A and B are shown apart, each in its own frame.
Chain A
Amino acid sequence: MSDTTTDIEGGGQRLPFSPTGSPAGAPDATPAWERVGGIGLKILTTIGSIAVTMVGLLFLTFIIGRVMPIDPIIAVLGERASGSAYEAMRLEMGLDKPIIVQFGYYLWDVMRGDFGVSRLTARPVFDDIVRVFPATFELATIGTIIGVVLGVPLGVLAAVKKGTWIDHVSRVVALVGYSMPIFWLGLVGLLVFYGILGWVGGPGRQGIFFVDIVPTVTGLILIDSLIDGKIDVFWDAVSHIILPASILGYFSLAYISRMTRSFMLEQLSAEYITTARVKGMSEWAVVWRHAFGNIKVPLITVIALSYAGLLEGSVLTEIIFSWPGIGSYITTALLSADMNAVLGGTVVVGLVFVLLNVFSDLLYKVFDPRAQ
């Protein structure tokens, strides 16, 4: 299991995240208490390690919010707070208690889904996040689909035709993707495809005439509009999502195609590939049935990582496209020093990250016959 993660590190260097720590390369990367056998124990330690990571994650956001240089009371009340209001808020926030107790309160609040109230929207942060999350989810999902549909074949082709023009093209595509500031590409894309060519809808998730027509069911406009049977709303949403999703998809493509290529190269030089050729198989079947069959599982991990990476990329993309998702939410909150909203958003993104990693780990264990 170590070889796959090794390669993830090797190629792109984009998303070196593995919160559970298990895929770290060295043979004794797992702490001793995790190496003790037993399936039940293994599940327990896995859950335990996820829990520890999550508590650590919350502790980090807690530190950022409560302990770092900015005075949390001033952050809430503003600079011109009166002395008595300051003191009252200090007691209300429990800042007179020891830090560990404060963290306990924080943990308890978060577990109940209470991230405090946003100063900007004057609503519970949790409700805000529930409202904006589907927009990000929709964007990142379409982006990942674009990245997978184009990136995987490109990577396979580049490996099979190593050293030919298609390999060079794939290399350039990836290099440009790794080197391009995503917000700038978004701007240029907006300029070209909206400003000059007029092929796509402008910023925002919907045209102003289409807002609030369909009732919210899933929060995903592409789906809600279809449920309601409003095709025009659907096409309007498509025209708005296609550009930001393609831009996110391009970054995902760069990463996925590179990883696919390096996985495939490794497999194509394996001896069982010669075996398949000796059997008299066509090159197509050798590549897709045998070699590709062997990279499916690590590829799932890569796709999960890239999906998580798009959550990050969406912060900047959402700003450019005025996309009302979690990235916009965090940034807007940040610029108005709305700490509760910033930290709530950060925690949620972190949790999604951890869960995606756990999920891809799990898939790995289920689908790779060697991992059982």
Chain B
Amino acid sequence: MPNSVPNSVADTPTSETWREWLNTDTPRSRFQARMGALWRGFTRMTSNKLTLFGMLILVFLVLVAAFAPLLAPHDPYAQDLGKRLLPLFSDGHVFGTDSLGRDILSRVIYGSRITLYIVALVALIAPVAGLLVGTASGYFGGVVDVVLMRVTDVFLAFPRLVLALAFVAALGAGIENAVIAISLTAWPPYARIARAETLTIRQADYIAAIRLQGAGAFHIITKHIWPLCVSSLIVRVTLDMAGIILAAAGLGFLGLGAQPPSPEWGAMISEGRKFILDHWWVATIPGLAIFLVSLGFNLLGDGLRDVLDPKSSSDD
């Protein structure tokens, strides 16, 4: 193992020594150690071809979403009834057009923004809510624990999609409400994970030491328990992403998520459904997009789990 620390340029490595700097067994700073650990995790993950493939899909998704206006050949909302239901590889419409003559490729490209938007919001709301409930439950114990865990169980007692349907029914259709509904059904597993982690951490001697120094519950939870819950939550979030995408698409398909004319993929499938027998591509193309993106998240999630959680059993 090359563990020679770059001598003269210890903290500002040149490009040739980047690898050495990251791989060193004797890091000089906390930052270097952390970067080294990240790097080693990254190399382990990317050494698995499937994980790498998943990562590439997601990078591609982000790029497509970011540069949608540049990439899309047409306005995703521009209707042209003269050119409706054109087949694949038509002139100027690689993926054909839908029943209103809109370019399917452009709609799929813009749809990636909606997908990312939903996933990002749910991935922010649900784990944070779960973390709050779980750490409170685990740290305070007693009645708080019993009540919060009961509530969690009740939420878990419903099939997710059915509960989300009920929420949307009460809240009204729409993309924000879909996000809220999915988040409301997605937080309980995170709460269980956070609670389990908190229970183990709470017992640790160093927590007792901090408490003796006069630290309050708020300080202990935010500064010492939350940071340690993060890695198992991240794994779980990545594995959940595919489910979130599928749930969002399902709501869109039922007409309860994004509303027309928005190019949400699930809603696009729903529109194409009427023509499935004669114009199959209208519904098939957005379906492939959904499949590809959730496949990407599943592959990445599997890889992340192998790196962050070698026992590969995230317990909640």
Contact = CB atoms under 8 A, between A and B. Distances in A.
Contact, chains A and B (beta carbon distance below 8 A): yes
Interface of A: 2, 6-7, 9-10, 13-14, 16-21, 24-26, 28-29, 31, 33, 52-53, 56-57, 59-61, 64-65, 68-70, 175-176, 178-184, 187-188, 190-191, 195, 308-309, 311-312, 315-316, 319-320, 330-331, 334-335, 337, 339, 342-343, 345-346, 349-350, 353-354, 357
Interface in B15-33: none
A267 to B, nearest CB: 15
A25 B284 CA distance: 41
A330 B313 contact: no
Interface residues of B, number: 65
A308 B172 CA distance: 27
A10 B156 contact: no
Contacts of B157: 17, 19, 53, 56-57, 350, 353-354, 357
Interface of B: 145-146, 149-163, 165-172, 189, 192, 195-196, 199-200, 236, 239-240, 242-243, 246, 249-250, 253-256, 266, 269, 273, 276-277, 280, 283-284, 287, 290-291, 294-295, 297-299, 301, 312-316
A353 B295 contact: no
Contact of A334 (B154, B156, B165, B316): B165
Contacts of B246: 181-182
B168 to A, nearest CB: 8
A94 to B, nearest CB: 18
Contacts of B152: 21
Contacts of A181: 246, 249-250, 253, 266, 269, 287, 290-291, 294
A346 B158 contact: yes
Nearest to A333: B169
B294 A178 contact: yes
Contacts of A26: 195-196, 199-200, 315
Contact of B170 (A10, A53, A70, A182): A70
Given A10-B312, A346-B163, A178 B284 contact: no
Nearest to B287: A184
Nearest to B143: A31
B contact face: mostly helix, strand, loop, or mixed: helix
Given A69-B170, A178-B242, A187-B269, A25 B315 contact: yes
Nearest to A184: B287
Contacts of B160: 312
Contacts of A339: 169-170
Most buried by B among A16, A61, A319: A16
A183 B250 contact: yes
B280 A191 contact: yes
A355 to B, nearest CB: 10
A28 B198 CA distance: 12
A61 B166 contact: yes
Contacts of B149: 21, 31
Contacts of A311: 159, 162
Contact of B314 (A9, A59, A334, A343): A9
A53 B154 contact: yes
A25 B315 CA distance: 6
